Structure 1
Amino acid sequence: MEKGCGYKILLIFLSFFFLYSCSPTKYVSEKEYLLNKVTIKTDSKEIKKSDIKKNIRQKPNTRILGVARFHLGVYNLSGKNEKKRFNKWLRTIGEAPVVYSDFLTDRSVAQIKLFLNNKGYYNAEVLDTVYFKKRKAYVEYNIFPGKVTTIEDFTFTDTHNYVSNELSDTARLMREVLQDSFRTKIRPEAPLDIELLETERERITRMLRERGYFNFSKNFIQFYADTTTANQPDKARLLLSIVSNPTDTTAYHKFRIEKININFDYDPLVFLSGTDSCYTATIERNYGILYRDKLKVKPKLIIETIQFREGELYNVQKVVDSYSRLQALNLFKFINIVFREKPTAGKEKILVCDIQLTPMKRQSYNIFLEGTHNSGNIGVGGNLTYNHRNLFKSGENLTLSVWGALKKEQFNENKIFSTKELGVEMRLVTPQFWMPVFRLHDFRRNFAPKTSVSLSFSYEHTPFYDRRIASAKFGYLWRKADKKWRYNFDLIDLNYVMMQNVDSAFIAGLKNKYVKSAYTSHLILSANFSAVYTDQQLNGQSSFNYFRGNLETSGNFLWAIDKVFNIPRVEKNDERYYEMLGVQYAQYIKADGEYRFNHYLNRANTIVYRLFLGCGYPYGNMKVLPFEEAFYGGGANGIRAWQARTLGPGSYVAEDNYPNNVGDFKLEANIEYRFKLFWLLEGALFLDAGNIWNITKYENRRGTVLGGDFLRQIALGTGPGLRVDANFFLLRFDWGIKMRDPAKPQGQRFVLFDNGKWIKHTVFNIAIGYPF
C-alpha cells in the first residue's frame, strides 16, 4: 500500500459522511419542512442580535464551522427500525431534525416583542417572514423597535406619607432606603428598562437584608412609571415606593441572632425519625455543639470560620461568606445554615441559627498509571497519592505522593528505557494563618487565608547525567469571598539542584553555553507572588475570562548576606560568583502573565483565545536564567507543531545533538475552535503563534536576541485535534502542522505547502486535559 493511501481513504470517508449529513431531510415527512435558517434584521444599533436570539423559541439544528450539521448527520445514519440498539444509540448521541412550527414562530414574535417592551421600546413592531424551498423553511424576523422611553426623573416616596398614616415601621425602613439611595444605578435619560428596575429592587433588598431585615423580600418594592405628566413624549417620571401593609408583619423588623448551634454529624434521616438520642450535646464559647461518637473536627475551627456572631443583627452577606468559607475547608459534603424565628414578647425579633454539617471521609488513596508521549519520547509512569483532610482535627490537609517514570529517549535507540525518574513529595495545607507577628484579624476573617508547606525530592537518571533536586516551599494562599480572585504568596521557594556523573563528552557536544549551564549544580532561593482571576460559572453555559499573573525574584537575600559578611567570591572557569551550600545560587527577576477568553457560542461550539507574555532577567550572581525558570517554545500545551524545547530562540537553528532550547522572553498567542461531535468525542481546530528570545548578553548564538524584527521570527502552527471527554479526565490528541518556520531562511519560512512535503513538518501530541 502506498504511504499516502491511508490519508486518501480517510479523506474519502470524511467526504462521504459530510455529504450524507448534508442530506438533512431524510427523517422529515413530505408535509413538513426542515427549519434551515433563522435571520434577524434590524436597523437599530442599540438592539443586540445576540439578545434577540435568546428569545427565539425554535432554532435550526446545530452546525459545526457554521456549515456542517454533524449531529443531524449522526442521527440520519440510524436506520428506521427504532427498536434496534445501534439505531437508538445513534439517535441518542445525534440530534433530531428541527421541523418548522408556525406556533413556535408566533411564540417567538410575541417573546421578542415582550423583550423589547421590557427594554423600554413600547411601540416596537416585530414581523416574521417565512418562505419554503426544497422542503426547507427559512424564517426572517424584522424588528422595528421605534423610539425608546427614557427616565425623566427618579424619586422615592416621602417618609412623611407613611408617618401621617401611622406606619412607623414602614417609615423607619424607608429612611434606610433613602440613606442608601446614592448607590442607585437608575439615572435620568436612562432607558426605562425592566432589567434596570429589577437590579435596583435586588440592590435595595440586599442592603436591607444585610442590616437585619431577615424577612424582607423584593416583592415589597414597587415602581410607578408616569408618562402622562412628563414634559416630553417618550419620557417617564419614575417613583419607587414600599408596600404600606406587607402580608408578613415581621418583614419591616430587624432580627438579631440570639443562639448558634452547630451539628457536626448531621443526618436528616436520624432527625426525621426522631431518634436523635445518640447525639452528644455540649457548649463551646456559648455555641451549642452536637455530635455523634466523638468530635472529628475541633469546634474552634468552625467557630472561627463562621462570619456572623451571637448578638449581631442578621446579615445575609455574612451568611453567604460563611457558606463559602465552610466549603473551602473541604471537610464536609453537606453544609446547610438554617435560621429559625424565636417567639418573643418584646418588639425585638430573635433568630436561632442551626448549622448542619455532614463530614466527608477523612482519608483517601489514589493510584494513577499513564503512558507518556512528550516531544517524541515515549514511556510509562505512575503516581501513588495519600490524602488526609483533617490530620490534627483542625482542617489540615496532608498529601503524600510518590511517583516514578521510565522513558525511552529518541537519541538513544539501544535501550528500551534510557531515562528513569523517581520522586516523593509531602504537602501540608492548613486553615491556620501562620504569621505570628501580625495578627491581621480582619484579613483572616475576610480572605480565608491558608498556610502551605511542602517538601520534595526527585531523582533522574539518564545516560548522560544524574540529577537530584531537593525542594522546600513555605507560603500562603487566600481568596476573596466572591471567589473570582485567588492569590498565592510563596515566601520561601528553595530548589537545590545537584548534577552528578555528568558525561564530559555529552557536555562537549553542546555548542551553546546557555544550554550547558542547565547541567551544572545550582541553588534557587526565591519568593513568588501570583494572582488568578476568573468569572467562570459552574454551569459552563456562558463565556468567561481568565487571567493569571506571576512575579518572582530570587537570590537577593543570599546576596545581601554575602555582602554584609563580606564573603569572597569563588573563581571558576573564568567566572566569579558567590556560592551557598557549595554551589552557585541564581539571582534574577521574572514576570509573566496569561489571559484567556472562552467564547461560548452554543452547546456544541466554543472558541478559546489565549495570550501569554513572559520575561526573565538574570543579574548579579548568575548570567543566565536557571534552566528550570527559563521559557521554552513548542510542546503539547504551547505551539503544537514543534516538539517541546525545539522552537527558537528567534531564528536560531539548533546544532546540538540534544536540543534543549530555552530563552528569557516568551510571546505566544493561540486560538482554538472546539466543537462537540458525538458520544465522548470532541473535535478542535487550532492556530498557534509565538516564539522565545533571549535578552542576556551571555548569548552566543546568532538570531536569538530579541530585536525590532521579532515579528519576522514568529512561528505559526495549525492543525486538527480530537478529545475523549470522560468527565473525570480528558484525553487529547493534537496533530500540529507547521505553517511558518522562523528557522528557515528569509523568503522560505512559509512551509505549509513545501513541495508536497508538509507531512514532514508535523508533530503528533498526546496529552491529558485541555491545552489551556
Structure 2
Amino acid sequence: MKMRKGVIMRAKLKFAIGILTLTTIIASCSSTKNLKEGESLYVKGNVIIDSDTISKENKEKLSTYLQSSLMPKPNKRLAGVPFKLYFNNMAGDSANKNMIKRFFKKIGEEPVLLSDVNREYNENLLRNRMENIGFFNAEVRSDTLVEEKKATINYTAKPNLIYRIQSVKFDIDSTSQLGRDILSSSDKSLLQIGKNYSLDVILNERDRIDNDLKNKGYYYFSPDYILVEVDSSHRNNRVDMYVTVKKETPAQAKIPSKINKIYIFPNYTETSSGYQRSTRNAELFDSSYYFIDRRRTFRKPVIANHIFFKPGDVYNRTAHNQTISHLVNLNSWKFVKNNFVDSKEVPNALDVYYYLTPLPKKSLRVELLGKMASVYNGTEVNVNWTLRNAFKGAEQLSFNVFGGYETQTGGNADLNSSYYRYGMEATVTFPRILSPFGHINPSRRFIPKTYVKGRYEFLNRRKAYTLNSIALDYGYIWQESEEKQHDLALLEITYVQPKGISETYQKQMDTIPALRHAIDPQFTIGPNYNFTFQNTMKQHLKNTFYFKGNLDLSGNILGLIKGADFNKGKTFKLFDAYFSQYIKISGDGRHYLKLSENSQLASRVSLGLSYSYGNSRSLPYLKQYYVGGPNSIRAFGARAIGPGTLAPEKLSNGLFYADQTGDIKLELNTEYRAKLAGFVHWAAFIDAGNVWLQREDVNKPGAKFSKNFLNELAVGGGAGLRFDFTFLIVRTDFSIPFRIPYLPKGERWVFKDIDFGSSKWRKDNLMFNLAIGYPF
C-alpha cells in the first residue's frame, strides 16, 4: 500500500497533536477538587532578597540558590500543570477497584499540602545557607498567601553585610615532614584574601590539601585531619582564618607510605573468604609483579603495562587512580578492585592487591530498530557477537551481521519503492599501538587503541540497481587529554561496484546525469585523520566548544605511480573501477553559550573543502558533501539543496528529488534553546548553507563554486519542541524557507510569499521533522 507525502505528514503530526491534547485534558482538571475542608494545596515557595547592596543579577542568583533549599517541594509541573497530581486525582480513593485507576495512582503524586510545610524549619535553613556563604547576620521572615485553596509562602531574606577574608595563616609545624609538605603548596590555597567567607571553599581547601598529600605518599591522611578556624570578632565584617592539623591526627597518617609487593589476580572470582586470597602460587614477573593466574588467561606484560606502581615507589594517588582507570578501560573485567594493606615485612609500606573479575569471554547482542523518515520507513536488525581477550592481551574481536528493509512512502515508486540490504562487519581492537618501533603510548593517562576493520554490504534497490561495497580500515585511536582525541586510519580502502542497473533507471539516468554519479564504480585508498576537541562536559563554563576536523586523502601514491591526469585523458582503473584522487578537508565547529540555568544559544559552522586531481574530476559520490534534512538546513529536504543555484531535479512523478551533492560545503546554524517546564523544552532556529562543485559541469549550470557563493546560500528557520526524557530526546521541528538559492536573482528571499493561511503554501513550504537527539 503506497501512501502519499501529505498522508505521511499528517501521520507525523499526530505525535505533537497527541501531546497537546493530553496536556489540554489534564489542564481542564482541578488540582484541589479532592482536598478536605480546611486543607490548602502548597503550590510555591518564593524567596525575596531584601538588600540595597546586592545587584539585581546577584539577587536573582541568590534567590534561586536559596529557593532550591526549601522543603518540601511542590507537586511536579509540566507547562505550569501539576500533571502527576491530576493523575492521582483521577484515580480517586477507589483506585484498588479499577485497573486503569490503579495505574493512574501509581504514576500519580499525592498532593503537597500547606500543613506539610514547616515555615520555622525553612527560615532556619535559609539563614544557615546564607551563613555558609558569608552572611553571618542574615535575617529571614515569612508569610503565607492562600487563594482558592492554593497556598504560596513568601520568605523575605535580609542578608545584611557579607563577611570577607582579612588574613589566612597556615599554623603548621614546619619542623615536621608533614608540615613542610603542607606548607610547600600553601601558595595554591583556595582561601584568598578579599574573597567572601564560604563553607564550600573551606571544605574544598581541605580536599586540596589532602589530594596534594596523597600524591606525596600520605595514604592514611584524611581531609578530616585539617582544621580551619575562623575568627569573626572584628567589627569590620572581616574574618581571620587559621589552617592547622588536628592534634588527634594518628601518627600513621603523618608519615608517607611506600609500595612493597604488588599482587595481581587477573582471573579473580569472589568467595566467602573475601578479597585477599592465597598468594602461594604467585609468579614473579619483571621483578615487580606477582601474578596469581594458574590458567594463564592473560599475558603478563599486557597487564603490567597498565600498572603505574613499582616496588619502592612512594604511594601516589594519581598512579593509584590511573591504574584503576586503565584496567577498567581495557574492557576485559566486570569488576576491578584493589586493596592496600600494611606490609608485615617493611615498616611504613603497603602491599597492593588487584582483584580483576573477567567479563564473559563471549557475548551476543541482538538489536531490532524501527525507522521513520520523511521518505522511507523500515526496520533493521543487528546481531553482534563479541569475543573478549581474544589473544590473551585484552583484545576484542567482534562480528556484526546486519540486515534491513525500507519502503518508500512518497516519491518515485518505480525506482525507489523499497530496498533491502545486508552485510557483515568484523573488527579487531588492540589496547595498544601496534608499531614496528615498539610500545608507544602518546598519553600515560589514556589507553591508545589499534583497530582493524573489514566490512561488506549488499544493497538491492529492487527495480533500480544493486550495489556491492567492501571497506577495509587499519589505524589508531588515542586520547591526548579529556578534551582532545585523535583517530588516524593509516589505510582506508573503500570499493563499490554496481550491478543489475534496470532499463527504467538507465532511462532516468540519461535524462538526469546526477543519477549516474550515484552508481559510479568507486575505489578510494589512502589515509584518513580525525581530530576532536570538546569541553562541553564542563557544565560550569559559560562558553563551551566542540570541534571535529578531518583530513582525507586518496590515491596519491597510486596517481604518482600511474601518472594519472584526467585533463590529458590519462585515467586508470584498479579492480574495474577508476581509483579516486583527492584531498578533502572538513571542519565542524560548535559553540554553546550558557544564558541561564535553563537556556543556551547553540551555534555551528560546518565547512568542507576538496580538491580532486589526477585520476578524478570530482569527489566520489560517497565522499561528497550535502546539506538539508532534520540535522542540517531543516526547511529543506535531505540532499535537496544545490549544488550552487542548480534547482533540484524532480523525477517523473514530481515527488522524489535526485540527490544534490557537491565538492565544497558551507553550513551555518544557530539555535536558541530553553526549558518550558519539566522535560519539555523548546527552540527557535535559523539555518543556512549550500554545496558547490569544484569544476564546471555542463549538465549542472550554476553549480561551480565562485566568489558569489554567499548570494547562493539557502536560508530557513523555524521552531520546535524537545522532549528530554534523560535517556532519550525526541525533537519536533517546524520550519519554512526564507531564501531559496535556485530562484532568479532578486527573488530568492521569499518572506513576501509566506502565507500560513494557504493550504497549498503550507504543503509546498512547511517542513515538519521528527527526530531523535539534538541536531548539533
Alignment match, 1:479 = 479
Correspondence list, 1:330-479, <5 A? 330-343=331-344, 348-409=347-408, 410-413=410-413, 418-437=418-437, 439-440=439-440, 443=442, 445-462=444-461, 463-479=463-479
Give 1:486 shift. Answer: 4.2
Paired letter, 2:242: L
Distance in 1 between residues matched to 2:280 and 2:418, nearest whole Å:
60
Alignment match, 1:629 = 623
State the TM-score, normalizing by the size of structure 2.
0.83
Alignment match, 1:654 = 648
Once the two structures are aligned, what percentage of the paired residues are identical? 21
Describe the SS at the equivalent of 1:139.
strand
Distance in 1 between residues matched to 2:44 and 2:645, nearest whole Å:
48
2:83 to 70, 87, 105: 70
Distance in 1 between residues matched to 2:322 and 2:590, nearest whole Å:
28
Alignment match, 2:308 = 307
Correspondence list, 1:459-538, <5 A? 459-462=458-461, 463-479=463-479, 483=482, 485-502=484-501, 503-510=505-512, 517-524=517-524, 525-533=526-534, 536=537
1:158 to 1:542, Cα distance in 2 relative to 1, 3 A? closer
Distance in 2 between residues matched to 1:701 and 1:60, nearest whole Å:
63
Distance in 1 between residues matched to 2:333 and 2:542, nearest whole Å:
28
Alignment gaps of 5+ in structure 1 = 164-170
Distance in 1 between residues matched to 2:119 and 2:628, nearest whole Å:
50
Distance in 1 between residues matched to 2:631 and 2:280, nearest whole Å:
53
1:593 to 575, 583, 588: 588
CA deviations over 1:187-234 (Å, ceiling 9, x no partner): 221112121121111111001011110110111111122344x6x711
Alignment match, 2:547 = 549
Describe the SS at the equivalent of 2:305.
helix
1:178 to 1:453, Cα distance in 2 relative to 1, 3 A? same
Correspondence list, 1:572-651, <5 A? 582-593=577-588, 595=590, 610-621=602-613, 622=616, 624-638=618-632, 642-647=636-641
Residues 123 and 145 in structure 1, CA contact (< 8 A), matched pair in contact too: yes
1:591 to 1:128, Cα distance in 2 relative to 1, 3 A? farther
Distance in 2 between residues matched to 1:406 and 1:113, nearest whole Å:
63
Give 1:365 shift. Answer: 1.6
1:673 to 1:156, Cα distance in 2 relative to 1, 3 A? closer
Distance in 1 between residues matched to 2:660 and 2:104, nearest whole Å:
48
Describe the SS at the equivalent of 2:96.
coil
Give 1:153 shift. Answer: 2.3
Residues 362 and 388 in structure 2, CA contact (< 8 A), matched pair in contact too: yes
Residues 205 and 218 in structure 1, CA contact (< 8 A), matched pair in contact too: yes
Q: Indicate the larger mover: 93-102 or 278-287.
A: 278-287
Residues 632 and 692 in structure 1, CA contact (< 8 A), matched pair in contact too: no
1:536 to 1:433, Cα distance in 2 relative to 1, 3 A? same
Distance in 2 between residues matched to 1:404 and 1:440, nearest whole Å:
38
Describe the SS at the equivalent of 1:174.
helix
1:38 to 38, 45, 52: 45
Residues 465 and 501 in structure 1, CA contact (< 8 A), matched pair in contact too: yes
Residues 457 and 468 in structure 1, CA contact (< 8 A), matched pair in contact too: yes
Paired letter, 2:68: K
Describe the SS at the equivalent of 1:50.
helix
Distance in 2 between residues matched to 1:749 and 1:318, nearest whole Å:
66
Residues 221 and 242 in structure 1, CA contact (< 8 A), matched pair in contact too: yes
Q: Figure out how many residues of one structure are paired with residues of the other and give that number.
A: 730
Q: Indicate the larger mover: 196-205 or 34-43.
A: 34-43
Describe the SS at the equivalent of 2:167.
strand
Paired letter, 2:565: R
Residues 334 and 358 in structure 1, CA contact (< 8 A), matched pair in contact too: yes
Give 1:386 shift. Answer: 1.3
Distance in 1 between residues matched to 2:750 and 2:34, nearest whole Å:
53
1:671 to 1:110, Cα distance in 2 relative to 1, 3 A? same
Describe the SS at the equivalent of 1:250.
helix
Aligned residues: CA RMSD: 3.9
Give 1:733 shift. Answer: 6.5
Give 1:704 shift. Answer: 9.1
Distance in 1 between residues matched to 2:348 and 2:498, nearest whole Å:
71
Describe the SS at the equivalent of 1:89.
helix
Give 1:546 shift. Answer: 7.5
Distance in 2 between residues matched to 1:710 and 1:142, nearest whole Å:
57
CA deviations over 1:411-446 (Å, ceiling 9, x no partner): 4435996423222211111112113326445x3532
Alignment match, 1:167 = none
Give 1:235 shift. Answer: 1.7
Alignment gaps of 5+ in structure 2 = 1-6, 652-656
Give 1:284 shift. Answer: 3.2
Distance in 1 between residues matched to 2:105 and 2:713, nearest whole Å:
50
Correspondence list, 1:209-248, <5 A? 209-228=214-233, 233-246=236-249, 248=250
1:143 to 139, 157, 166: 157
Residues 138 and 157 in structure 2, CA contact (< 8 A), matched pair in contact too: yes
Give 1:291 shift. Answer: 4.0
Distance in 1 between residues matched to 2:341 and 2:580, nearest whole Å:
62
State the TM-score, normalizing by the size of structure 1.
0.83
Residues 641 and 736 in structure 1, CA contact (< 8 A), matched pair in contact too: no
Distance in 2 between residues matched to 1:395 and 1:717, nearest whole Å:
49
1:766 to 1:389, Cα distance in 2 relative to 1, 3 A? farther
Paired letter, 2:357: T
1:741 to 1:125, Cα distance in 2 relative to 1, 3 A? same
Paired letter, 2:450: T
Distance in 2 between residues matched to 1:433 and 1:133, nearest whole Å:
70
Alignment match, 1:249 = 251
2:565 to 562, 569, 581: 569
Alignment match, 1:205 = 210
Whether 1:667 and 2:668 are equivalent positions in the alignment is yes
Distance in 1 between residues matched to 2:17 and 2:532, nearest whole Å:
49
Describe the SS at the equivalent of 2:137.
coil
Distance in 1 between residues matched to 2:94 and 2:550, nearest whole Å:
64
Distance in 2 between residues matched to 1:711 and 1:416, nearest whole Å:
30
Residues 191 and 205 in structure 2, CA contact (< 8 A), matched pair in contact too: yes
1:485 to 1:555, Cα distance in 2 relative to 1, 3 A? closer
Paired letter, 1:567: G
Residues 636 and 737 in structure 2, CA contact (< 8 A), matched pair in contact too: no
Describe the SS at the equivalent of 1:375.
coil
Whether 1:122 and 2:133 are equivalent positions in the alignment is no
Distance in 2 between residues matched to 1:566 and 1:433, nearest whole Å:
33
Alignment match, 1:20 = 28
1:90 to 92, 104, 115: 104
Alignment match, 1:131 = 145
Residues 536 and 545 in structure 1, CA contact (< 8 A), matched pair in contact too: no
